[in-house]
């Protein structure tokens, strides 16, 4: 049986494409006792509230019909955001050379967060290499809790 996120992605794909958007990610998470089904979008020029509203309405109807989730949950449709998490190999390839923040599970050199420029990604191991100042640092997949884009304000 497919996971809820995979089923949702399959149902959402045509609706999202109709609006000229692309699916960035689907999350099904429990926060503070409530389940959330989040559909995150991307679009050239940016996702707007009208995109989110239209996709949410259509997807809600499709989810009601398919009924893949037992119990109650909250459906959220939104933009992946400027500081989106990078998860798939294609995400890393697309944003190579971009500013990122790497958050670790455990301290390394006395800290858990490193900001720099994405300079490498190993598809086989999932290791990420970031230039922090003049130093290149590699973070193993098992050590990195999160890698996300970082907006720099000049």
Q: Are 5 and 69 in contact (CB under 8 A)?
A: no
**Token duo for residue 121:** 């990604």
CATH classification (class only), 89-149: mainly beta
For 20, the token pair is 């000229």
The C-alpha atoms of residue 125 and residue 141 are separated, in whole angstroms, by 7
User: In terms of CATH architecture, what is 4-79?
Assistant: 2-Layer Sandwich (3.30)
- Local confidence pLDDT in tens for the 154 residues of the chain: 579 999 999 999 999 999 999 999 999 999 999 999 999 999 999 999 999 999 999 999 999 998 888 889 999 999 999 999 999 999 999 999 999 999 999 999 999 999 999 999 999 999 999 999 999 999 999 999 999 999 988 7
* Residue spans per domain, the chain: 4-79, 89-149
Angstrom distances, CA of residue 49 to CA of 35, 46, 60, 102, 114: 22, 10, 16, 29, 32
- State the Cα–Cα distance between residues 8 and 38, nearest whole angstrom: 10
């Amino acid at each position: 049986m497919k996971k809820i996120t995979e089923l949702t992605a399959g149902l959402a794909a045509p609706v999202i494409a109709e609006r000229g958007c692309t699916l960035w990610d689907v999350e099904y998470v429990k926060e503070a006792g409530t389940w959330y089904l989040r559909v995150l979008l991307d679009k050239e020029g940016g996702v707007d509230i009208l995109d989110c509203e239209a996709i949410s309405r259509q997807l809600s109807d499709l989810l009601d019909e398919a009924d893949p989730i037992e119990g109650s949950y909250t459906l959220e449709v939104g933009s992946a955001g400027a500081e989106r998490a990078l998860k798939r190999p294609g995400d890393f390839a697309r944003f190579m050379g971009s500013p990122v923040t790497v958050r670790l599970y455990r301290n390394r050199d006395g800290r858990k967060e490193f900001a720099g420029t994405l300079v490498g990604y190993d598809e086989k191991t999932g290791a990420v290499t970031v230039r922090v100042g003049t130093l290149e640092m590699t973070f193993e997949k098992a050590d990195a809790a999160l890698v996300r884009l970082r907006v720099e304000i000049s």
